[in-house]
Amino acid sequence: MSWLDRFRPKRELPTLTLYTGPGCSLCEVLKGELKKMGAHRRFKIREVDITTDRALKKRYGLSIPVLELDGEPLLSGRIEIAELHQALQTALS
């Protein structure tokens, strides 16, 4: 952190919500890619297990992983890495 950063107002990070389920290999790949990209430095990341809520399981059951940005759908299902990079870059601009 530079000395100038101390005087800049703190802005709230956008929230990425990742809907997952146990044993979901696509979810694990996506989580690994988000970690590798350092997404936690630019986004608040929230992980939700859909099996803990009947309504979520009904809504997202066959679509996981589902990634939302501040409550808006971003990507779901089999997510290509290039597609993920592009979506997050667009979200930050």
Write out the chain's pLDDT in tens, 93 residues. Answer: 566 666 666 678 899 999 999 999 999 999 999 999 999 889 999 999 999 999 999 999 889 999 999 999 999 999 999 999 999 999 888
Q: Is 13-92 assigned to CATH 3.40.605.10?
A: no
Q: Show the beta-strand stretches assigned E in 1-93.
A: 15-20, 44-49, 66-69, 72-76
Contact between 70 and 15 under an 8 Å Cβ cutoff? The reply is yes
Cis peptide before 22 (omega within 30 of 0): no
- Phi then psi for 23, rounded to 5 degrees? 75, 10
- pTM, whole model, 2 decimals? 0.83
> How many distinct helices (H) and strands (E) make up the chain?
3, 4
